[in-house]
Amino acid sequence: MRSLPVMTAPLIDPFQRAVTYLRVSVTDRCDFRCNYCMSENMTFLPKRDLLTLEELDTVSTAFIRLGVRKLRITGGEPLVRRNILSYFRATARHLESGALDELTLTTNGSQLHRFAPDLAALGVRRVNISLDTLDEEKFARITRWGRLAQVMRGIDAAQSAGLRVKINTVALKGLNEDELFTLTDWCASRDMDLTFIEVMPMGDMGEEDRLDQYWPLSDLRAQLATRYTLTDLPDRTGGPARYVRLEETSQRIGFITPLSHNFCESCNRVRLTCTGELYMCLGQEDRADLRPALRDRHTGPLEDAIRAAIRLKPKGHDFDYSRQEVAGQMPRHMSHTGG
Longest CA–CA separation in the chain, Å: 58
Q: Output helix, strand, coil percentages for the chain, rounded to the nearest 5.
A: 35, 20, 45
269 is in an annotated binding site: yes
Check: CB of residue 221 under 8 Å from CB of residue 246.
no
Beta-strand relationship, 164-171 and 193-198: parallel
**323 alpha carbon, distance to own chain's centre:** 28
130 annotated ligand binder: yes
DSSP character for 338?
A: T
Residues recorded for the chain: 339
Residue 281 in marked binding region:
yes
34 marked among binding-site residues: yes
| C-alpha torsion sign, points 221, 222, 226, 228 | positive
Scored b (16 or more CB within 10 A) or e, 263-301 reads bbeebbbbbbbbebbbbbbbbbeebbebbebbeeeeeee
72 marked among binding-site residues: yes
| Residues whose CB is less than 8 angstroms from the CB of residue 100 and which lie 6 or more positions away in sequence, other chains included | 64, 68, 69, 70, 71, 91, 94
Q: Is the peptide bond before 76 cis (omega within 30 degrees of 0)?
A: yes
- Is residue 274 annotated as involved in ligand binding? no
* 98 assigned binding-site residue: no
The answer to whether the annotation marks 271 as part of a ligand binding site is yes
To the question of whether residue 267 is assigned a binding role by annotation, the answer is yes
| 257 annotated as a binding-site residue | no
Q: Look at residue 223 and give its three-state secondary structure.
A: helix
264 is in an annotated binding site: yes
Other beta carbons less than 10 A from residue 326's beta carbon:
20
Q: Known binding site for S-adenosyl-L-methionine: residues?
A: 36, 76, 130, 200
Q: Known binding site: residues?
A: 23, 30, 34, 36-37, 72, 76, 106, 130, 166, 200, 264, 267, 269-271, 281
Q: Known binding site for GTP: residues?
A: 23, 72, 106, 166, 269-271
